[in-house]
Amino acid sequence: MILAVDVGNSNTTVGLFDEAGKLTLRALLETSRGKTRDQCAIDLLGVLNLYGAQARAVDGAILSSVVPPLTAVFIDAIARLTGKPPLVVGPGIKTGLNIKAEIHNQLGSDIVASSVAAIDRYPSPLVMVDMGTATSLSLIVGSVYEGCSIMPGLALALDALSERAAALPPISLESPSTPTLLGHTTEEAMRSGVLYGHASMVDGMVDRMEAELGQAVTVVATGGNAPRILRYCKRHIHYDADLVMTGLYLLYQRNAKKHRKA
């Protein structure tokens, strides 16, 4: 079995793949920058126990992290839990992607993993949309990662409204209660603006990328906020909740022999 862990700014995703490469476990933990190696190991052990999996049955592990203070913590936690140091997505790893030189060392490891899975599963050219703490749109042509645009995510935009505008209250992220764009209360207006506005942003950015590229693209979305947004998008967009996990598994398979020798 292969353990895959993706440490994001808001959440940490844990996945377990069986010998056939099937994702048999997928769990979500809150990312906490203050946790120690032992606390992270306990969290991972709890997830495995919850789903009836054994830590010592793990044959290998791979880690993706966009939270630098937690990267070393999770490396130690995974090694202690499984008895094997994880492969870490970063410089020196074989990806199969031709990443533009200017952004090669700046690209988030989660976007790298998602891109690897996207080009394996969807026709090119494609736009890969990741809707997490931030919303990013990456353009990939063949195996070439052309670049990306990064915008505030759904929750960030909503928090900014209530924090910076004194008259706008904190609200929950729910579907608008009215079928029209115009809300009749402050809460309805905020939900409509944030949800329809985010969907329009995604539609508009993909339109602009197609115009710049000069041809149509396949669009695939992942991330925790994607289900909330895609229903309001006018474009057809594939939703793939396991894009990062699939990418991590593919990266592990491409680098496993070299990692074991090291």
Catalytic amino acids?
110
What contacts 117, CB < 8 A, 6 or more positions away? 240, 243, 244, 246, 247, 250
Q: Rounded CA gap, 152 and 154, in Å?
A: 7
Strand pairing of 23-30 and 60-65? unpaired
Q: What residue ranges in the chain does DSSP mark as E strands?
A: 2-7, 11-17, 23-30, 60-65, 87-88, 98-99, 126-131, 134-141, 144-152, 218-222, 238-239
Hey, which residues does 7 pair with through a beta bridge? 12, 65
> Pick from 99, 67, 62, 113: which is nearest to 246 by CA?
113
What contacts 25, CB < 8 A, 6 or more positions away? 14, 15, 16, 47, 48, 51, 53
Q: Rounded CA gap, 200 and 210, in Å?
A: 15
